[in-house]
Amino acid sequence: MKKLIVWSMGVLLCMALTGCGQSPSSKFDKQISELLEISDVSWELFEPVMTSYKELSDDERAKIKNYDDYEKYWTLLISNDIESAFSDKILTTEEYNSIVKKYSELPDSATDLVVGYEKIKKYDGVDIDALNEFNKKIQDVDEQTSFSNILEYFTEYGSMNSSTKALINITKIQAAMEMNDLEKAAVEACSNLRSAMKSKADFQLQSVTVKDDTEKMNFYWVLIKYSGTNSFGGTIDDTSCFGITPEFEDPFWGLSQITGKTNTYIKSATSYLEYEKSLQPEIALDVDKIMYYIE
Protein backbone atom coordinates (compact mmCIF):
# COMPACT_ATOMS: atom_id res chain seq x y z
CA MET A 1 0.00 0.00 0.00
CA LYS A 2 2.79 2.38 0.92
CA LYS A 3 4.51 1.63 -2.39
CA LEU A 4 1.27 2.41 -4.26
CA ILE A 5 0.87 5.71 -2.44
CA VAL A 6 4.45 6.72 -3.18
CA TRP A 7 4.02 5.76 -6.83
CA SER A 8 0.77 7.74 -7.16
CA MET A 9 2.33 10.81 -5.57
CA GLY A 10 5.23 10.53 -8.00
CA VAL A 11 2.87 10.43 -10.97
CA LEU A 12 0.96 13.45 -9.71
CA LEU A 13 4.18 15.35 -9.16
CA CYS A 14 5.40 14.45 -12.62
CA MET A 15 2.12 15.61 -14.19
CA ALA A 16 2.33 18.87 -12.26
CA LEU A 17 5.85 19.49 -13.44
CA THR A 18 5.06 18.68 -17.08
CA GLY A 19 1.77 20.52 -17.32
CA CYS A 20 -0.70 17.75 -16.64
CA GLY A 21 1.26 15.21 -18.59
CA GLN A 22 2.22 17.46 -21.54
CA SER A 23 5.78 17.13 -22.76
CA PRO A 24 7.79 20.36 -23.29
CA SER A 25 7.51 19.88 -27.06
CA SER A 26 3.71 19.51 -26.79
CA LYS A 27 3.50 22.64 -24.67
CA PHE A 28 5.54 24.48 -27.32
CA ASP A 29 3.24 23.22 -30.08
CA LYS A 30 0.28 24.52 -28.10
CA GLN A 31 1.95 27.94 -27.74
CA ILE A 32 2.39 28.09 -31.52
CA SER A 33 -1.24 27.10 -32.16
CA GLU A 34 -2.52 29.72 -29.73
CA LEU A 35 -0.21 32.33 -31.27
CA LEU A 36 -1.57 31.70 -34.74
CA GLU A 37 -5.13 32.23 -33.50
CA ILE A 38 -4.32 35.83 -32.51
CA SER A 39 -4.98 38.38 -35.26
CA ASP A 40 -2.14 40.66 -34.14
CA VAL A 41 1.34 39.82 -35.35
CA SER A 42 4.07 41.25 -33.13
CA TRP A 43 7.48 40.61 -31.65
CA GLU A 44 5.97 41.13 -28.21
CA LEU A 45 3.74 38.08 -28.70
CA PHE A 46 6.48 36.04 -30.32
CA GLU A 47 9.31 36.61 -27.83
CA PRO A 48 7.86 34.28 -25.11
CA VAL A 49 7.58 31.55 -27.73
CA MET A 50 11.20 32.10 -28.75
CA THR A 51 12.23 31.82 -25.11
CA SER A 52 10.34 28.55 -24.76
CA TYR A 53 12.08 27.14 -27.83
CA LYS A 54 15.55 28.09 -26.54
CA GLU A 55 14.82 26.23 -23.29
CA LEU A 56 14.01 22.96 -25.09
CA SER A 57 16.58 20.20 -25.34
CA ASP A 58 17.64 18.93 -28.75
CA ASP A 59 15.54 15.80 -28.19
CA GLU A 60 12.43 17.86 -27.38
CA ARG A 61 13.00 20.13 -30.37
CA ALA A 62 13.04 17.09 -32.62
CA LYS A 63 9.51 16.21 -31.41
CA ILE A 64 7.94 19.59 -32.29
CA LYS A 65 5.08 19.31 -34.79
CA ASN A 66 4.48 23.01 -35.45
CA TYR A 67 8.07 24.00 -36.13
CA ASP A 68 7.31 25.13 -39.71
CA ASP A 69 4.67 27.50 -38.34
CA TYR A 70 7.22 28.78 -35.83
CA GLU A 71 9.67 29.63 -38.61
CA LYS A 72 6.97 31.16 -40.81
CA TYR A 73 5.80 33.45 -38.01
CA TRP A 74 9.37 34.48 -37.30
CA THR A 75 10.10 35.33 -40.94
CA LEU A 76 6.76 37.14 -41.26
CA LEU A 77 7.83 39.48 -38.45
CA ILE A 78 11.13 40.26 -40.18
CA SER A 79 9.34 40.75 -43.52
CA ASN A 80 6.97 43.20 -41.81
CA ASP A 81 9.93 45.08 -40.33
CA ILE A 82 11.46 45.43 -43.80
CA GLU A 83 8.20 46.67 -45.30
CA SER A 84 7.82 49.19 -42.49
CA ALA A 85 11.42 50.38 -42.83
CA PHE A 86 10.90 51.25 -46.50
CA SER A 87 7.37 52.59 -46.17
CA ASP A 88 8.66 56.19 -46.12
CA LYS A 89 11.50 55.33 -48.56
CA ILE A 90 14.16 56.26 -45.98
CA LEU A 91 15.93 53.40 -44.22
CA THR A 92 17.65 54.42 -40.99
CA THR A 93 20.80 52.92 -39.52
CA GLU A 94 18.82 51.74 -36.50
CA GLU A 95 16.30 49.92 -38.67
CA TYR A 96 19.05 48.35 -40.77
CA ASN A 97 21.00 47.07 -37.78
CA SER A 98 17.88 45.68 -36.12
CA ILE A 99 16.74 43.80 -39.24
CA VAL A 100 20.19 42.41 -40.01
CA LYS A 101 20.56 41.17 -36.42
CA LYS A 102 17.16 39.44 -36.45
CA TYR A 103 17.83 37.95 -39.88
CA SER A 104 21.23 36.62 -38.75
CA GLU A 105 19.53 34.71 -35.91
CA LEU A 106 17.26 32.81 -38.30
CA PRO A 107 18.06 29.18 -39.07
CA ASP A 108 19.28 28.67 -42.64
CA SER A 109 16.08 26.79 -43.47
CA ALA A 110 14.02 29.96 -42.90
CA THR A 111 16.04 32.71 -44.58
CA ASP A 112 14.41 32.18 -47.99
CA LEU A 113 11.00 32.84 -46.43
CA VAL A 114 11.86 36.46 -45.62
CA VAL A 115 10.27 38.87 -48.10
CA GLY A 116 12.26 41.91 -49.21
CA TYR A 117 15.62 41.14 -47.65
CA GLU A 118 17.32 41.83 -50.99
CA LYS A 119 16.52 45.53 -50.35
CA ILE A 120 18.42 45.38 -47.07
CA LYS A 121 21.44 43.67 -48.65
CA LYS A 122 21.89 46.66 -50.96
CA TYR A 123 22.92 48.67 -47.90
CA ASP A 124 25.80 46.36 -46.93
CA GLY A 125 28.95 48.48 -46.57
CA VAL A 126 27.00 51.74 -46.81
CA ASP A 127 27.09 54.61 -44.31
CA ILE A 128 23.32 54.99 -44.16
CA ASP A 129 23.29 58.25 -42.19
CA ALA A 130 25.69 59.86 -44.69
CA LEU A 131 23.64 58.47 -47.58
CA ASN A 132 20.40 59.93 -46.22
CA GLU A 133 22.07 63.29 -45.64
CA PHE A 134 23.41 63.32 -49.21
CA ASN A 135 20.05 62.35 -50.70
CA LYS A 136 18.46 65.22 -48.74
CA LYS A 137 20.95 67.63 -50.33
CA ILE A 138 20.00 66.39 -53.79
CA GLN A 139 16.30 66.61 -52.99
CA ASP A 140 16.74 70.29 -52.08
CA VAL A 141 18.59 71.18 -55.31
CA ASP A 142 16.70 73.69 -57.46
CA GLU A 143 17.43 76.50 -59.92
CA GLN A 144 18.65 78.70 -57.07
CA THR A 145 21.35 76.25 -55.97
CA SER A 146 24.81 77.67 -56.68
CA PHE A 147 27.12 75.83 -59.03
CA SER A 148 29.76 75.67 -56.30
CA ASN A 149 27.33 73.54 -54.28
CA ILE A 150 26.46 71.44 -57.32
CA LEU A 151 30.15 70.82 -57.96
CA GLU A 152 30.66 69.94 -54.29
CA TYR A 153 27.87 67.33 -54.48
CA PHE A 154 29.20 65.97 -57.77
CA THR A 155 32.69 65.59 -56.29
CA GLU A 156 31.32 63.99 -53.12
CA TYR A 157 29.36 61.49 -55.22
CA GLY A 158 32.49 60.64 -57.21
CA SER A 159 34.33 59.64 -54.02
CA MET A 160 31.63 57.19 -52.90
CA ASN A 161 31.88 53.42 -53.24
CA SER A 162 29.81 51.58 -55.84
CA SER A 163 27.32 50.24 -53.25
CA THR A 164 26.49 53.77 -52.10
CA LYS A 165 26.29 55.16 -55.64
CA ALA A 166 23.77 52.46 -56.54
CA LEU A 167 21.37 53.91 -53.93
CA ILE A 168 21.54 57.49 -55.24
CA ASN A 169 19.60 59.06 -58.10
CA ILE A 170 22.23 61.47 -59.37
CA THR A 171 20.32 62.68 -62.44
CA LYS A 172 19.41 66.00 -60.79
CA ILE A 173 23.09 66.79 -60.20
CA GLN A 174 24.09 65.61 -63.66
CA ALA A 175 21.44 67.86 -65.20
CA ALA A 176 22.70 70.83 -63.16
CA MET A 177 26.25 70.14 -64.33
CA GLU A 178 25.23 70.34 -67.99
CA MET A 179 25.38 73.66 -69.81
CA ASN A 180 22.40 75.33 -71.45
CA ASP A 181 22.80 77.30 -74.68
CA LEU A 182 23.41 80.62 -72.93
CA GLU A 183 26.18 79.06 -70.87
CA LYS A 184 27.74 77.45 -73.94
CA ALA A 185 27.85 80.86 -75.63
CA ALA A 186 29.38 82.42 -72.52
CA VAL A 187 32.03 79.70 -72.25
CA GLU A 188 33.07 80.29 -75.85
CA ALA A 189 33.37 84.06 -75.34
CA CYS A 190 35.18 83.75 -72.00
CA SER A 191 37.54 81.06 -73.28
CA ASN A 192 38.58 83.30 -76.16
CA LEU A 193 39.03 86.28 -73.87
CA ARG A 194 41.07 84.28 -71.36
CA SER A 195 43.35 82.97 -74.11
CA ALA A 196 44.34 86.56 -74.92
CA MET A 197 45.39 87.39 -71.37
CA LYS A 198 49.08 87.69 -70.51
CA SER A 199 48.48 85.34 -67.57
CA LYS A 200 45.61 82.88 -68.01
CA ALA A 201 45.92 81.86 -64.35
CA ASP A 202 45.12 85.42 -63.22
CA PHE A 203 41.95 85.66 -65.30
CA GLN A 204 38.86 85.96 -63.08
CA LEU A 205 35.24 86.57 -63.98
CA GLN A 206 33.31 89.14 -62.02
CA SER A 207 30.04 88.74 -63.91
CA VAL A 208 28.68 87.29 -67.16
CA THR A 209 25.33 88.27 -68.65
CA VAL A 210 23.84 87.06 -71.93
CA LYS A 211 21.04 88.16 -74.24
CA ASP A 212 19.62 85.57 -76.62
CA ASP A 213 19.16 87.56 -79.82
CA THR A 214 19.46 84.56 -82.13
CA GLU A 215 16.01 84.95 -83.68
CA LYS A 216 16.51 88.54 -84.82
CA MET A 217 20.28 89.01 -85.12
CA ASN A 218 21.52 85.38 -85.09
CA PHE A 219 23.77 86.11 -82.12
CA TYR A 220 24.04 85.60 -78.38
CA TRP A 221 25.41 88.85 -76.95
CA VAL A 222 27.79 88.03 -74.09
CA LEU A 223 28.79 90.85 -71.72
CA ILE A 224 31.81 89.99 -69.56
CA LYS A 225 33.21 91.88 -66.59
CA TYR A 226 36.57 90.48 -65.60
CA SER A 227 40.00 91.06 -64.12
CA GLY A 228 43.36 89.97 -65.44
CA THR A 229 47.00 90.90 -65.94
CA ASN A 230 47.98 93.37 -68.65
CA SER A 231 51.17 93.35 -70.71
CA PHE A 232 52.94 95.39 -68.03
CA GLY A 233 52.13 92.82 -65.34
CA GLY A 234 49.53 95.01 -63.65
CA THR A 235 46.03 93.94 -62.65
CA ILE A 236 43.19 95.40 -64.68
CA ASP A 237 39.42 95.38 -64.33
CA ASP A 238 37.62 95.61 -67.65
CA THR A 239 34.44 94.85 -69.59
CA SER A 240 34.14 93.25 -73.02
CA CYS A 241 31.24 92.13 -75.15
CA PHE A 242 31.13 89.53 -77.89
CA GLY A 243 28.66 88.11 -80.40
CA ILE A 244 28.45 84.31 -80.43
CA THR A 245 26.60 82.40 -83.15
CA PRO A 246 23.99 79.64 -82.53
CA GLU A 247 26.83 77.22 -83.33
CA PHE A 248 28.67 78.70 -80.31
CA GLU A 249 31.45 80.32 -82.29
CA ASP A 250 32.75 83.88 -82.49
CA PRO A 251 33.11 84.46 -86.26
CA PHE A 252 35.41 87.47 -85.75
CA TRP A 253 37.79 86.02 -83.16
CA GLY A 254 39.94 84.09 -85.63
CA LEU A 255 40.16 87.10 -87.93
CA SER A 256 41.33 89.32 -85.07
CA GLN A 257 44.15 86.89 -84.35
CA ILE A 258 45.19 86.61 -87.98
CA THR A 259 45.32 90.38 -88.36
CA GLY A 260 47.03 90.88 -85.01
CA LYS A 261 44.19 93.07 -83.74
CA THR A 262 42.94 90.88 -80.93
CA ASN A 263 43.33 93.62 -78.28
CA THR A 264 41.45 96.06 -80.51
CA TYR A 265 38.64 93.52 -80.96
CA ILE A 266 38.45 92.88 -77.23
CA LYS A 267 37.96 96.59 -76.58
CA SER A 268 35.55 97.12 -79.48
CA ALA A 269 32.15 98.58 -78.57
CA THR A 270 30.36 97.11 -81.60
CA SER A 271 28.92 94.05 -79.87
CA TYR A 272 28.19 96.08 -76.74
CA LEU A 273 26.02 98.49 -78.73
CA GLU A 274 24.07 95.52 -80.13
CA TYR A 275 23.76 94.16 -76.60
CA GLU A 276 22.26 97.46 -75.45
CA LYS A 277 19.89 97.66 -78.43
CA SER A 278 18.56 94.13 -77.95
CA LEU A 279 15.17 93.92 -76.22
CA GLN A 280 15.81 90.36 -75.08
CA PRO A 281 16.06 89.73 -71.33
CA GLU A 282 19.48 90.01 -69.73
CA ILE A 283 20.34 86.70 -68.08
CA ALA A 284 23.03 86.62 -65.38
CA LEU A 285 25.03 83.40 -65.31
CA ASP A 286 26.84 81.63 -62.47
CA VAL A 287 30.49 82.70 -62.88
CA ASP A 288 31.73 79.62 -61.01
CA LYS A 289 30.12 77.39 -63.61
CA ILE A 290 31.57 79.36 -66.51
CA MET A 291 35.04 79.32 -64.92
CA TYR A 292 34.76 75.58 -64.35
CA TYR A 293 34.16 74.91 -68.05
CA ILE A 294 36.80 77.28 -69.41
CA GLU A 295 39.45 75.77 -67.15
Q: What is the pLDDT of residues 7-34, one digit of tens each?
A: 333 433 343 344 455 899 999 999 999 9
pLDDT at 16: 38
Give me the pLDDT at residue 199, please.
83
The pLDDT value given to residue 222: 98
Judged by DSSP in three states, 221 sits in strand
List CB contacts of 249: < 8 A, sequence separation 6 or more. Answer: 188
pLDDT at 21: 59
DSSP β-bridge partners for residue 241: 223
Sequence letter at residue 277: K
Instruction: Please report the pLDDT score of residue 3 as a whole number.
Output: 43
Rounded to whole angstroms, the Cα distance separating 193 from 195 reads 5
* pLDDT for position 231: 61
Question: DSSP of 120-138, one letter per residue?
Answer: HHTTTT--HHHHHHHHHHH
The SS3 assignment for 114 reads: coil
The H-or-E segment that residue 204 falls in is strand 204-213
Work out whether the CA dihedral 175, 181, 187, 190 comes out positive or negative: negative
- Residue ranges in the chain modelled with pLDDT below 50: 1-19
**Euclidean distance between CA atoms 277 and 285, whole angstroms:** 20
Expressed in angstroms, the distance from the first to the final Cα of the chain is 109
- Residue 256 CA to residue 265 CA, distance in Å, equals 6
pLDDT in tens, 203-257: 999 999 999 999 999 999 999 999 987 666 677 899 999 999 999 999 999 999 9
Give the integer Cα–Cα distance in Å for 282 and 221. 9
Residues 6+ away with beta carbon under 8 Å from 5: none
DSSP H or E run through 209 = strand 204-213
How many whole angstroms from its chain centre is CA 122?
13
